Chain A
Amino acid sequence: MVLLLKCLSPLGFITRRLSAPEFITQCCYHKKVVDHYENPRNVGTLDKQSKNVGTGLVGAPACGDVMKLQIEVDDQGKIVDARFKTFGCGSAIASSSLATEWVKGKSVDEALMIKNTDIAKELCLPPVKLHCSMLAEDAIKAALADYRLKQQDDQQEAVRASN
């Protein structure tokens, strides 16, 4: 516990969640992870029914984390907005927060290139938390797949309507 306090004293805050067991075993979350945890970017929801919104919902059964990531794509195929909601450990929250930051401004194809290893590297995730970055990558892919499916359905509908 003393080591824990020493790690965090420069940051000046200890919340209840940060005293969870996985925190203690790890000794210290990296300050980037703590930053995303305390100041998460893009928390929220987009309209699931909208044709321009893709929703990715993924779960990690080993640790019981649940992650939802949504993207809004404009007519040129560029991601203009992204939101996330994650219930899980600090690393999972940070990974999904970073993912929403990264997808913004990218095209759908560019967003597909985001790898979990890039996320893990950016957040300096320890080996035991690498699966959290994997979860974020899967969430991005799931959201893009959902968007693609909606676009295909849309096109099929347009074809049927014109016949």
Chain B
Amino acid sequence: MLSLNYLRIVCSSRALLHPNWLMTRRQCVYEAFTCSAHCMSTCFPKKDTWHSNTNLRKERKLIYYTGRVSSPRNYCTGRVKVSCWNCKQPLDKTPAFFCMSCKVVQPPDDGTSYFKIMDCDCTFTLDTQKLQKRYLQLQRSLHPDNFSRKSVREQEYSEIQSALVNKAYTTLLKPLSRGLYMLELKGMHIEEGTDSGADSEFLMELMEINEALDEAQTPEEANKIGRDTKGKLTDLTKEIDDALLKGELQTAKALLAQMKYYANIEEKVKEKLSEFM
């Protein structure tokens, strides 16, 4: 079906990471929904809509969107108002994990950033303890194990929500992935391939650290390199925080690239130390 393929393009997982992207393409999403609604009503009898969709297991996100077509949506020039798929009451909170009226689990809302999901401010400095508490609190209510006796649709939604919360938590936990995600929210990525603007002195220094680690004969030598690397990472974290607060995205991008190199060295230190055991 052409419209389903259209949905597939629009509703790829990347869309969830790019709220800006989705916002500019809301018109397309609307068209896709109405096209799909027409197809749904002509191709499937209403009561079987959900079960037919579960056959499309390959595209999980696709299931979510085609399922929601049957729930009423108000399209206005402002925010899209979402209603509960079960009792049709409006969902006021964002993100709404459960309906306030009937308490049933909801599918994730499009374009909600990981920061909103984990109830954190969109800043580089983050209270990781608070993040962890929120993660545990969410998983206590959303984990699929709690839905083993519920309907298939609720089980599907809890799986999607639980996986999303996992992704949000792991992304925001480490400074590197957090910083890269913040850049993504602003539409920036670190390109694959060679860094043509890289400082050759910096690369030389990295080479020397890597070589020293490779040739380390004792755990003490490896630990020393580990401590120096940790120090560099702490400094970089401060600089990235400054750059992001000032909105200097290019600077932040370059610093995050440096952080990636040092994060790799940190991983290699751990591997080296385990070899000594």
Contact = CB atoms under 8 A, between A and B. Distances in A.
A60 B210 contact: no
A66 B195 CA distance: 10
Nearest to B213: A87
A66 B261 contact: yes
Interface in B232-275: 257, 260-261, 263-264, 268, 271, 274-275
B190 A62 contact: yes
Contact of B193 (A66, A68, A88, A134): A134
Nearest to A131: B192
Nearest to B254: A61
A16 B257 contact: no
Contact of A57 (B192, B204, B257, B274): B204
Interface string A58-96: 111111111010000000000000000101100000000
B261 A61 contact: yes
B260 A57 contact: no
A134 B195 CA distance: 11
Interface in B5-61: none
Contacts of B121: none
Contacts of A131: 192-193
Nearest to A136: B194
A17 B195 contact: no
Contacts of A135: 193-194
8 contacts: A57-B200, A59-B206, A60-B192, A61-B257, A63-B260, A68-B207, A134-B193, A138-B194
Interface of B: 190-195, 198, 200, 203-204, 206-207, 210-211, 214, 257, 260-261, 263-264, 268, 271, 274-275
A61 B198 contact: yes
A156 to B, nearest CB: 21
Given A58-B194, A59-B198, A60-B195, A66 B203 contact: yes
Q: Size range of the interface on A?
A: 20 to 34
Main SS at interface, chain A = mixed
A47 to B, nearest CB: 15
Contacts of A17: 271
A57 B203 CA distance: 7
A61 B211 contact: no
B17 to A, nearest CB: 16
A16 B193 contact: no
A68 B198 CA distance: 14
A66 B261 CA distance: 8
B193 A64 contact: no
Given A62-B260, A64-B260, 19 more contacts: A16-B271, A16-B275, A17-B271, A57-B203, A58-B194, A59-B203, A59-B261, A60-B195, A62-B190, A62-B191, A62-B192, A63-B192, A63-B260, A64-B263, A66-B207, A66-B210, A87-B210, A87-B264, A88-B264
